[in-house]
Structure 1
């Protein structure tokens, strides 16, 4: 199972939110590129990036910070937030992103996801953010009646590289991930599922790993706070 350290970008800084509320932002590093380099130097195989402003604006906002990260690290990076058309997908991939994450458009324009996955094999992931099992869009500001598992199944034959499943109620709250819901989603589809939201201890990572169904886990606040020792976590997941 791969550990994806998270860098959430707001106003050019690396921050973390609680339950996705922008007013709850805590700044952890005003140099996101240096933070990405630190993750790489610690042995991380990937870096997970989110353009928080972009998620609300519907277009990239923290582009300069993302480009600085891409210029600083050699490990692959994936980015979500404000990516809602093919031109933006193509632009980001041309700048060196390994994978784009499509969230809102997966609900509002699933044909775009399919088109992008065909055009850029292995480089398109679907972000499914859910509250109480129901998908939320537009920076988690709008809730839908779509169930997370139903949405995932719609892309079973689309060729997407991964599904990033976030339990919004767990995100940034340091209360542990929703292991059972993530495992259930992973069992419902053949697409690799990456867990996000609430991963706050080595035990959380081990619980996700031990399910044997989950391809990766994203953690942010716990790494910044020191609740998870990055070196110990990477060793445990490799073992």
Structure 2
């Protein structure tokens, strides 16, 4: 089980949001690159970087900072947030990104994912954010009428490398992950799934590890690490 720290960037700072709400942010650092360096030093194999301004506005807004993180880190970086053009993907791929996360665009223009996979094989993962099983888009501002599992089925044939599945009702709330919805999604996806949202203690990671046979290969942790309700070292020992 990969234990993946999150670095969320808003207005050039490292923040965490509660349930994806832009007005419910906590600033943890003025230097996202320093935060990424910290997780690198802690022994992370993969860091999850999100341009939150990009997610809300529909195009990358903190790409300079993100690229600095990619350049300076010795570990793999996956990045998402407002990436909706092939040129945006190419910019990050040229910088040396491990994987690019496509979110809203996957639901709005699914054929774009197919194009991206053909041009950048092995580099594309799809982030599916769900509330009550339905896909949420545009930085979680809008909940669609499409089931998360249906979108996963459609994406699977395009050649993506896997999924990130976030239950937004749990994200940043430290209430524990929604194991039932994660299991249902992973079994439908039939590709590697990274779970996100709600992890606050070691027991949550242990519970997610029971879903490895369903296809869950990693977990993204944000608020719990920053609030120190969970130590990365302890989590890594489990993973």
Q: How does 1:52-131 map to 2 (within 5 A)?
A: 52-131=52-131
Deviations 1:194-227 (A, max 9, x none): 1011111111111001222311100000001111
Inter-partner Cα distance in structure 1 for 2:63 and 2:85: 16
Unpaired runs of 5+ residues, structure 1, are: none
SS of 2:210's equivalent in the other structure is helix
Q: What's the counterpart of residue 29 of structure 1?
A: 29
How far residue 63 of structure 1 moved from its aligned partner, in angstroms, is 1.3
How far residue 189 of structure 1 moved from its aligned partner, in angstroms, is 2.3
Inter-partner Cα distance in structure 2 for 1:199 and 1:80: 20
Q: What's the counterpart of residue 231 of structure 2?
A: 229
Selected match of 2:219 from 183, 198, 217: 217
Q: What's the counterpart of residue 197 of structure 2?
A: 197
Inter-partner Cα distance in structure 1 for 2:24 and 2:165: 21
Q: Is the 8 A contact 2:67 2:92 kept in 1?
A: no
Deviations 1:140-175 (A, max 9, x none): 111100000000000122111111001111000111
Inter-partner Cα distance in structure 2 for 1:148 and 1:217: 18
SS of 1:122's equivalent in the other structure is coil
Larger CA deviation: 143-152 vs 68-77: 68-77
Inter-partner Cα distance in structure 1 for 2:163 and 2:102: 9
- List, as ranges, runs of 4+ consecutive aligned residues in structure 1 with deviation greater than 4 Å: none
Larger CA deviation: 187-196 vs 13-22: 187-196
Relative to the length of structure 2, the TM-score reads 0.97
Aligned residues: 237
Inter-partner Cα distance in structure 2 for 1:180 and 1:132: 11
Inter-partner Cα distance in structure 1 for 2:72 and 2:2: 21
SS of 1:28's equivalent in the other structure is strand
Inter-partner Cα distance in structure 1 for 2:71 and 2:88: 19
Q: Over aligned residues, Cα RMSD in angstroms?
A: 0.9
Relative to the length of structure 1, the TM-score reads 0.97
